[in-house]
Structure formats: C-alpha cells, structure tokens
Structure 1
C-alpha cells in the first residue's frame, strides 16, 4: 500500500472533490458519519481511518488510493505497462527512442513517489546507455536505481548492482567489476537469500570479466553454476543471456560443438523474444566460435551480420567490439588492408575509459598486420599501446599473450635482453591471472 498523505492534504482533497460534485458536507457524510466529522476532516484536524476514507471515496466516486495519496486510479499499473513498452523498444534495438520513453516515465514515477517504478525506469535508462556506449551515464543510472531501492531486499537490488558491474567491465575496470559481482554473490549465498533469478544474473555477468582476467577456472565454475540454476528461472531472456555467456567457457575448453549448440539455443530464444541487440550479440559470438574453429568464411558472414544489426541501431560500443573480431577474420583471410582500415575506424570510438580491452585487441591486431608487412617499428608501437591498455584493465591472460608477441618481435630484431624481459613479464601475468582475485565467492545451495 502506498504511503498516505498527511491529514491536511487529504482534507483539502476531500473538500475540493466534494465541491466539484456539488455535495454538502451532510450529503457526503450520510449515512455513516456526521457533517461535523466531515468539517473536521476537511480542516485537517483528524486523521481519517481506512473505513472512513473508503466511505468518502465511494460517495465521491473515486478510488480509495486516489483519495488517500492523490494518485490517479491505476496509475502504477499504467506506468508498469508503459515501462514494459519501453523495454520492448530497447529490445528492438531502438536505444535512443527507449531512453526518451524511460525519461518521461521516470518523471511521472518521481512526481507520484512510485519507488519501484522509479527504479525500473533508472534501470532501463542504464541499459540504454550501455547500448549506446555512454558508460559514465549508465553507471549513474544504475547507482540511482540502487539508491532508490535502498530499503528493498538484496535480490531486488541485484539488477542495478549487475548493471554497475557491466558498465565497469566495459570501461576496462575488470577487477572492480568482479569485486561487485563476487561480493554480491557472497552476500546472497552466505545470507541464505536463494533467489535463482538474481544468482543467475550475477553468475552470467561474471563470466566475461573472469575470461578477460585469465581466470578460466572461475569462469568455468560460474558457467556450471549458471547452468544448474537455469531450470529454476522463468525469464527466457535471462536464460538466453546465460547460454550466450556459457558458450565462452565451453569454447575456452575446446568444446566447440557444445559452444555452438549453446549459442543456437540463445539465438532461438532471442528470435522468439524479438530482442535484436542480444540476437546480434549471439551472431557475434557464433562468428567468434567459427573463427576459433578455422571456419573463416562462416565467421565472416556471422560477424558482418552482427555488425550490421548493431550499427543500424546505434549500439556503438558493441559494434566496435564486433569490428575488432571481424578485422581479425579478414586479416586471416588475406584482406589485411580492409582489416587495418576497419581497426583504425574502431579506435576512434574506443579509449582507456571506454572499451579498453577491445581497444587493446585492435592495437594488438594492427601490430600483427604491421609485422606481416615488415614494419617492426609500427608493430612495436601498437604492442606497447595495447600493453598499456591491458595493464590498466588488469586483463592478465591477454597481457601474457601480448608479452609473448612483443618478446618474439624483439628477439627477431636482435634485442635479446629486452625480449627476455618481455617473456618474464608475460609469465608473471600468466601466473597472476589465477592467483590475485582472492577467495572464490560462496556457492549457492542448489
């Protein structure tokens, strides 16, 4: 039940409605109350009981909630319906249009002090900003959503916490993203708050940061727990997202067919739900699977389709990330010039604060292309830039690989001592990828 207004505000409302309907105080009061009671109530000198308000609401022809709070009847229901429509707009890839809808709905929810609807609108705005690559604004919206729900249970706050973690992850702050996710998992599991939807959301979100940090064992464990939780979850979009994330761990373990099957399940769900951006992300991941398996023609087809879907809906950050994967496939297929052009275009939209891991991947690939063209100076410059980005992000697994590439380049150009230093640094990062995260989060009671 929504919080009632104070007696003075209710009294003024009763008086206004009574006069609009041409009723005297006696006509409004009878047969259950007296005109003196209505006079006292309208003056704000008495707090009416629920029974009295129900009587007055019936006589005035308004809903009890409208008389008690000033909110139009069914306002919350109508707002929730329109929030669902905004969510559907976002699902179709129209992030800017959805943001306009969410902004208007947030204003209405704030005007009528509807807490849950305010939080839902803030979450929607956060997702819109993730889609368009405005990570600072996304974090701010998720933080406001969590503040709005400060008095709610932890499972209710999990979508906002997960949104914050994803925004930090996309900005290249991998360790902080993992900290947010793991600390929330611990709070849920140690507190006995077994909420399958909340747990699945967190485990699914943790897979990407774990993989980029080089913590494959934790990523695989998160995927295993997500799969175990899935039968208890009723939200098909959440299940589809889980299948897409789990595919990463299957791929890392060399289980190509299973990864492809997992992505096929996710893609079919997204088609049924008409969630275009997530469907594009599925095609992106399938392209990556095909590339890892050496099927470059199919990889190029899937990645071009994903990029076209994302670019047409202004999903700038995700589109840039797909472009890096596509450039790798193009280079491997002998189209290095097209790959270089694509990568240089991508780097204009990425930065240390926005897609750091993929910006590093772009520099790494440009370095490899430069090496193939025997331009060792340009190759070294790109490798060093990539290392700087990955060090800030803490992406240990990628750093180890990059140190090997740089070491090989230095060795081939006769700088043996510098090459040995690069190899040693790479070994240090390879070890760090499995030892610096601290204890794994507590497991749920499945």
Structure 2
C-alpha cells in the first residue's frame, strides 16, 4: 500500500466520504466486511488491504484514488459540508472534531467558526461537559482574534453551558463579562440582548431575583421593537424570573403571550421549547394545571419528532412523569422515571434535581418515606451548594411535607 493510503489519512477520508453520502457504517460495510472492522479502519487502528480499498471504493461509487485526496478533508471543507447540511448528529460533530484535531492552529478564525458550530451541536444534544471543553478554546481564540462580537458570543455561550451544569457562580461571571463587552463596544441589539438574557438566567438560577427582575425588564425594553424571536425569548426569561419569585400569575401571563406571539414557522425549535416550558410551569403552580400541561405536551409532540434532540426527548419524558404523579398515576410516573434512569441523562442540573425529587415523592407515596427523606436532604444540600436558592427551597419544602407525613401517617 502506497503512502497515499496510509493511516490515519485513509480512515479520515473514508469517514468523510461515508458521511457525505449519508451512509451508516452498517450500510457501507454491507455483507463483505463487519462494522467493527470498518470502524477500526475509520479510526486509523487498522490498515486497509488492496481488496478492501477496491470494495469500499465500489460501495461509495468513487475511484480508489479518491481516498488519497486528503486535502478535501481539510477543516474548511468539512466545515462547509456540515454548515450546509441539516445533519447535526454525533457523526457530524465527530467529523468536525477530527478535522479540528488534524488542522492545528494555523487559522484561528476558521478554527473559531468550526468550534462555534461544534459547541452548538453539543449544546443541542445536552453534551454539556464536551461543549465546555470546546468553549474554553473558543473563548481563548476570541480573545486572540480580539473581536468584541466573538468575545461576547463565546462568553455568552459559556455562561449558558455553566448554568446547565449547575455552576451558577461561573455562569454569572461569564454572562456579566459578555454584557460588559457588548455595551462597551456598542454591539448589535442581538448580541447585547443575548448576553443580557444570559445574565438574567444566571441571576435567576443563583437566587438573585431582584437583580434578575430588573435586568429582565431592561431586556424586554431593549428588544421591544426588534423583529424575530428576541421579544419572545425576553418574555420567556421574564416569565421565568416571576415564577422564581412566586408570581405565578405574572409568569403565566408572560409565557402565554410568548406562546401566542411565536408562530411555528418562525422558529420550530423555540416553539417546541416554549411548550415544554409552559407544561413545566403549569405543573409547578398550586394546584397544578394538569389539563393545560397535558395540552402543551401534546402540542410539542409533532415538533419533537421533527427537530427534537435526545435532550428534548428526555425533557418531555421527565415532564410526563411529573404530570402522571400529579394526576395520581404513581405507577406510570415510576415507570417513566425508571426508563430515564436507564439512559445517559442529558438533562440540566435543575431538571435532574427535580426528577430526583419526584423519585423521592414516589418512594414516600409507596411506603418508603425514610429513604425519601435521606435523599431529599442530600438534594437540598446539593441545590444550596450550587446557589440554586429557589430550587433548594423547593426541595426543603418537599422534605418538610414528607417528614410531616412520616410523623402523622393518617394526615
């Protein structure tokens, strides 16, 4: 085998050709080779034989010499393919990651663009730890390029990722810095508002609700004349703050307005997420609005099938579990929780804690209150340590109710 077909060049080019054609490893392997062998070829762990090269070239419909065209696997080419494709799967992310690893640091601007797309794929899939690794380099590159727009966007996205991981202190630090840069350089309304949106979210998560309320009002005023989805996102943020403050009526009003103002054709992903958020809100009010929550979940179903990621599927399943428990269908709630426990959880820190609280409520209902109490104490401390004050209050309240039932079983 000549140098042009040496690994890992051959493996990278093979993977690129397969992804270009939308083929799975099983579809390309066919009946002649195993998917395991093909996977080792693509990873560079096994050298290809002349017979395998000819077979794969025939399956892909290309001459064998195509495998030597490594320049088409450059970062620029891979980025162009992924950007122009609707595919935002793990395989697309892997292709970008491979191209980044092979590209080195010779083009910081191009590298920044590829990393930005990669972080968006990771975020949509709920792969927050992997996203954070990319964001660290993204922030460094933005500072190296000294472009205020990129510096703001990198920090805003880092704040969102940190919040999803439960690190509210860092989330606030990054969002505040992003907002400072945006104002200092008089950036666009979108960049400034997106950074301020991250500030509001971080403050709300950290329990700084008066600051979050003031910034939410500032955000709504900033985007009131904007087109697109910014006013809807601002209303959603303001609704979230009011909900954390206990103003559930005000939160419902803002969220209902956001639902009304956004058409599914404007942004189907946001349209779906708003309905999941509304369902969550309806299940947290007293008494829970189970019928309204059920309706919003039903509305989100079609969109979930079109644009939903594994993360959104898990959010839907968790909400269905909460709904089942509120409706007195404890067995259904337990089954949904057990199904989620079998998966690699992609949920945010807040949603994970709330799901664990639900599991404790189920335990208490089924006659295991002592176990529920121990777990709830741990969850409350965890929420306190992450500065999620309203979440901690929710857990402590559930703990108090469980202890009361334990002390007075007939109540």
Query: What TM-score comes out, normalization by structure 2 length?
Result: 0.68
Q: Output the CA distance in 2 between the equivalents of 1:212 and 1:341.
A: 29
On the 8 A contact 1:359/1:386 being kept in 2, the answer is no
Counterpart of 2:397? 404
| Aligned pairs for 1:4-403 within 5 A | 84-86=83-85, 89=86, 94-96=88-90, 98-99=92-93, 102-103=96-97, 110=103, 113-149=106-142, 150-189=144-183, 191=184, 193-231=186-224, 236-252=228-244, 253=247, 254-255=249-250, 256-266=252-262, 268=263, 271-273=264-266, 275-292=267-284, 294-303=288-297, 306=300, 309-310=303-304, 315-349=309-343, 355-403=348-396
Which of the two has higher C-alpha Rg?
1
> How far is 1:397 from its partner?
1.1
User: For 1:250-282, what per-residue CA distance to the aligned partner results, in whole angstroms no more than 9, with x for missing partners?
Assistant: 54532223321113324x1xx324x54433212
- Flag the 1:272–1:103 CA change in 2: closer, same or farther, 3 A: farther
On the 8 A contact 2:175/2:202 being kept in 1, the answer is no
Q: Output the CA distance in 1 between the equivalents of 2:284 and 2:401.
A: 22
Q: Which runs of 5+ in 1 are unaligned?
A: 1-70, 416-446
Query: What TM-score comes out, normalization by structure 1 length?
Result: 0.63
Q: Output the CA distance in 1 between the equivalents of 2:215 and 2:375.
A: 33
On the 8 A contact 2:377/2:396 being kept in 1, the answer is no
> How far is 1:368 from its partner?
2.1
> How far is 1:138 from its partner?
0.5
On the 8 A contact 1:361/1:386 being kept in 2, the answer is no
Q: Which runs of 5+ in 2 are unaligned?
A: 1-70
Q: Output the CA distance in 1 between the equivalents of 2:193 and 2:148.
A: 14
- Flag the 1:140–1:317 CA change in 2: closer, same or farther, 3 A: same
Q: Output the CA distance in 2 between the equivalents of 1:96 and 1:411.
A: 47
- Flag the 1:410–1:331 CA change in 2: closer, same or farther, 3 A: closer
Higher relative contact order structure (alpha carbons within 8 Å, sequence separation ≥ 6): 1
User: For 1:354-397, what per-residue CA distance to the aligned partner results, in whole angstroms no more than 9, with x for missing partners?
Assistant: 73322211121122233333431232133134224323422111
- How many corresponding residue pairs? 329
> How large is the RMSD of aligned CA atoms in angstroms?
3.6
On the 8 A contact 1:171/1:354 being kept in 2, the answer is no
On the 8 A contact 1:169/1:177 being kept in 2, the answer is yes
Q: Output the CA distance in 2 between the equivalents of 1:193 and 1:139.
A: 27
Structure 2 residue matching 1:281: 3-state secondary structure: helix
- Flag the 1:129–1:332 CA change in 2: closer, same or farther, 3 A: same
